[in-house]
Amino acid sequence: MNSFTELANALKSRKNVLLLTGYLCDEMELNGRRLVDYAADIALKLNLPVAATGNTVVALKERGVRAGKKVLAEMVNLTRFPHWGDPVITERPEVMVFIGYPPGVLKPLLPAVKGAETIVLGNVCLKEATFSLPDASLSQYRLNLESLIGELGGF
């Protein structure tokens, strides 16, 4: 994917996309706006179910997002079993989108995801993902997220 338009189209066209939100959503601020606001925009625009890890479920629900409290490693763990079963998304996800995780947390987990594509919306490019946003300063990261959210269209 070479542009935010392509990324947005890919996200819109796929079935069973699961958004996972990590603890940095609660802690990171990009020019005065919390990362959880960006995550909520993405979830709401795509009407995605959210596996909210760390403590992010509270802020996401306050923003009207369809989120359930989950544990990151449990979500990755489930992808390797034949039976999915977790109620956050009824069928096994085809795409898992990660936002709000430091690279040190996510990098080792990505190769362990089985049977799903992985998209990382962070400020460090992770080559272990199927697709990852590029390395960016925090100000560029904000612009990247805004571009992506813009391409996702209206609510």
Partner 1 sequence: MPEKKTIRLGNSIIDVEEVVRDGRGIEDIVIDAMESDFQEARYRSFNQKLFPFADAADLAEWDGFLVRQYPPLYTGSPGTCSDCPRGPCDLEAGKGLCGLEKAACQARLSLRRACRGSLSQFMDSRELLNYAVKVFGPEHPVEWGKMHDRSDASHIGFMTAIWPRCLADLDRVLTYVEEQLNKLLVASFTGLDASELEQMVLHAGSVLLVAMNVSELVKMNCFGFINASNEDIMQMINWPPVNILGGLGNVEKEKPVLTFLGDNFLAAWCAIKQLQEENRAGQVEICGIGPAGHDIVRFYDQCRVLAPMTQARKIVRYGISDVIVASAACIDLNFLPDAVAAGTKVIWTGREKNIGLPDYTDEPVAKIVAELLTGIPGAWIRHMEKAAAVAVELVQKVSRSKEHLLSEDAAKKEAKRCRADCDCCHGVCPNGLLIGQQLRKLPAEGVGALKEIEEGCYLCGRCEGVCPEKIPLEDIIIAVLNGRVEEDKLKMRAGRGPVARVETTAWAFGSMWGNCPGIFHILGCGDARMREELGWIAYNLTWRNAIVFTAGCAAGEIGRYFNREKQQYVYEQFGTEAQVRNLINLGSCTACSHIVDQALKWPRTGSGIAHYGNFAETADVEYNVIAPTLIVWGALPDRMYALVAAWVRAGMSVIIGPNSGFGWNRYLMGNKWQWEDWWTYTTFGGQKRYVEPSPPGMIIPVETKEEALTQALSVAMRPVEIRDGRQIRLDTYVEFSETFFKEFPDDWQLFVRSDWELPLRYKSRLLKELKEKFGWEIDRLRVKRARHPDGRLMEIGEFNKEYSSMAMSITRLKRMIARGSEPGGKEENK
Kindly list the residues in this chain that would bind partner 1 in the complex (CB under 8 A): 22-24, 27-28, 53-55, 57-58, 61, 68-74, 76-78, 80-81, 83-88, 102-105, 107-109, 111-112, 123-124, 128, 135-141
Q: Given the DSSP bridges, would you call strands 117-120 and 29-30 parallel, antiparallel or unpaired? A: unpaired
Residue placing its CB nearer to partner 1 in the complex, 22 or 148: 22
Residue placing its CB nearer to partner 1 in the complex, 12 or 80: 80
Q: Given the DSSP bridges, would you call strands 95-99 and 29-30 parallel, antiparallel or unpaired? A: unpaired
Cβ-based burial of 17 (10 A; exposed 0-12, middle 13-18, buried ≥19): buried
Task: Give dist(CA 6, CA 52) in Å, integer.
Answer: 25
Task: Give dist(CA 59, CA 78) in Å, integer.
Answer: 25
Q: Tally Cβ neighbours within 10 Å of residue 92.
A: 18
Provide the minimum distance between the beta carbon of 123 and partner 1 in the complex, in angstroms, as a whole number. 7
Residue placing its CB nearer to partner 1 in the complex, 1 or 71: 71
Provide the minimum distance between the beta carbon of 102 and partner 1 in the complex, in angstroms, as a whole number. 3
Task: Give dist(CA 65, CA 46) in Å, integer.
Answer: 11
Residue placing its CB nearer to partner 1 in the complex, 8 or 78: 78
Provide the minimum distance between the beta carbon of 42 and partner 1 in the complex, in angstroms, as a whole number. 20
Provide the minimum distance between the beta carbon of 148 and partner 1 in the complex, in angstroms, as a whole number. 19
